[in-house]
């Protein structure tokens, strides 16, 4: 988009009519969709003539150039952003955007409902539209048709906003953690310590990822909430599993360096130093 602000208009006014027409003719030969006049300035007659010849619309706004550029950049980034649609549930848990994925019928909506009852906020159920902004940001939203609604097997459609109030929902949220619900497989080895970081790829961006096995007796909503709390701590540099592993390694190293029999002698000493 070609933008003419105060500086550009003043420059054109400093040229004679022939030079002004020639400069505008060359500028409007480039391939762009329209011309925007900012600051409420009136476009020179030569600009209107050359734009008519080039079949380019001329738009005018009273907004100053820096503000207009910022607003246009934001609108274009949002409109032209790469997008995808996922079968999932997006929740705002303690300010962290958690995308819950898994096969149909695994219990994503029931888990989300339990989280809502615990005070967290629903962004989208069943269908989540995700768009990529900038280089590292994924924004999830809900389609307008299904916004605030949730489908529960045996109960049908419910309106979360009407049932739990406006504070139980929000329109969009950044995706910062993916939790995959999957049926418990007794033959499979699941993560026990959490030392290694896993990632889930969405629109060529990697998002922290957790596999959550579903089995009778496991409160999935609480586990997802704890996962969000743990991810918040990790993002601030507090990694519980690695801290424990480091402490264990130091303890083992100190034990290996201690002289043999030293611990046994200490145990034989009674209070006061007598044997």
Write the pLDDT tens digit of every residue in 176-207. 999 999 998 888 777 777 777 889 999 999 99
Average pLDDT of the chain is: 88
Choose among 53, 62, 49: nearest CA to 5: 62
Choose among 214, 207, 226: nearest CA to 188: 214
User: Which residues lie closer than 8 Å to 30 by C-beta, 6 or more apart?
Assistant: 2
Of the two residues 26 and 121, the one the predictor is more confident about is 121
Q: How far is the C-alpha of 121 from the C-alpha of 115, rounded, in Å?
A: 8
Q: Reply yes or no on whether 126 is catalytic.
A: yes
Catalytic, out of 10, 87, 118, 183: 87
Q: Reply yes or no on whether 120 is catalytic.
A: no
DSSP state of 33: S
- At 216 the pLDDT is 83
Catalytic, out of 20, 92, 108, 148: 108
Q: Reply yes or no on whether 192 is catalytic.
A: yes
- At 87 the pLDDT is 94
Catalytic, out of 16, 31, 188, 192: 192
- At 237 the pLDDT is 86
Alpha carbon dihedral 32, 37, 38, 39, in 10-degree steps, equals 170
Q: Reply yes or no on whether 55 is catalytic.
A: no
Asked if pLDDT for residue 270 goes beyond 80, the answer is no
Asked if pLDDT for residue 220 goes beyond 90, the answer is yes
- SS3 percent helix, strand, coil of the chain, rounded to 5, is 40, 30, 30
Return the CATH fold of 2-79.
3.40.1390
Q: Is the pTM of this model over 0.85?
A: no
- At 215 the pLDDT is 85
Q: How far is the C-alpha of 113 from the C-alpha of 107, rounded, in Å?
A: 10
**Span 239-251, mean pLDDT?**
85
Span(s) in the chain for CATH 3.40.50.300: 83-235
Of the two residues 88 and 246, the one the predictor is more confident about is 88
Q: How far is the C-alpha of 208 from the C-alpha of 196, rounded, in Å?
A: 11
- For 69-123, the pLDDT digits (tens) are 999 988 888 888 899 999 999 999 999 999 999 998 898 999 999 999 999 999 9
Asked if pLDDT for residue 238 goes beyond 60, the answer is yes
Catalytic, out of 120, 126, 149, 173: 126
Asked if pLDDT for residue 239 goes beyond 90, the answer is no
Q: How far is the C-alpha of 79 from the C-alpha of 64, rounded, in Å?
A: 22
Span(s) in the chain for CATH 3.40.1390.20: 2-79
**Both tokens of residue 79?**
């409109």
Q: How far is the C-alpha of 18 from the C-alpha of 50, rounded, in Å?
A: 12
- At 101 the pLDDT is 96
Return the CATH fold of 83-235.
Rossmann fold (3.40.50)
Q: How far is the C-alpha of 175 from the C-alpha of 205, rounded, in Å?
A: 11
């Amino acid at each position: 988009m070609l933008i003419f602000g105060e500086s550009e208009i003043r420059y054109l006014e400093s040229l004679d009519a022939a030079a002004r027409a020639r400069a505008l003719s060359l500028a409007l030969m480039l391939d762009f969709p329209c011309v925007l006049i900012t600051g409420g300035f009136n476009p020179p007659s030569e600009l209107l003539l050359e734009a008519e010849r080039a079949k380019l619309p001329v738009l005018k706004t009273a907004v100053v150039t820096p503000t207009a550029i910022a607003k246009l950049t934001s609108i274009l980034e949002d409109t032209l952003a790469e997008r995808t649609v996922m079968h999932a549930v997006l929740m705002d848990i303690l300010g962290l955007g958690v995308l819950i994925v898994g096969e149909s019928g695994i219990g994503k909506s029931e888990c989300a409902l339990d989280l809502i009852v615990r005070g967290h906020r629903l962004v989208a159920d069943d269908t989540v539209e995700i768009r990529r902004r900038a280089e590292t940001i994924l924004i999830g939203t809900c389609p307008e048709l299904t916004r605030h609604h949730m489908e529960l097997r045996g109960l049908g459609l419910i309106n979360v906003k009407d049932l739990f109030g406006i504070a139980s929902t929000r329109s969009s949220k950044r995706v910062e953690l993916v939790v995959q619900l999957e049926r418990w497989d007794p033959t499979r080895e699941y993560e026990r310590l959490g030392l290694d970081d896993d990632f889930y790829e969405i629109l060529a961006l990697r998002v922290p990822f957790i596999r959550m096995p579903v089995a009778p007796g496991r409160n999935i909503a609480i586990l997802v909430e704890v996962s969000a709390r743990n991810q918040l701590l990790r993002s601030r540099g507090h990694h519980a599993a690695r801290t424990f592993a480091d402490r264990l390694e130091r303890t083992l190293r100190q034990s290996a360096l201690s002289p043999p029999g030293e611990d046994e002698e200490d145990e034989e000493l009674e209070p006061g130093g007598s044997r």
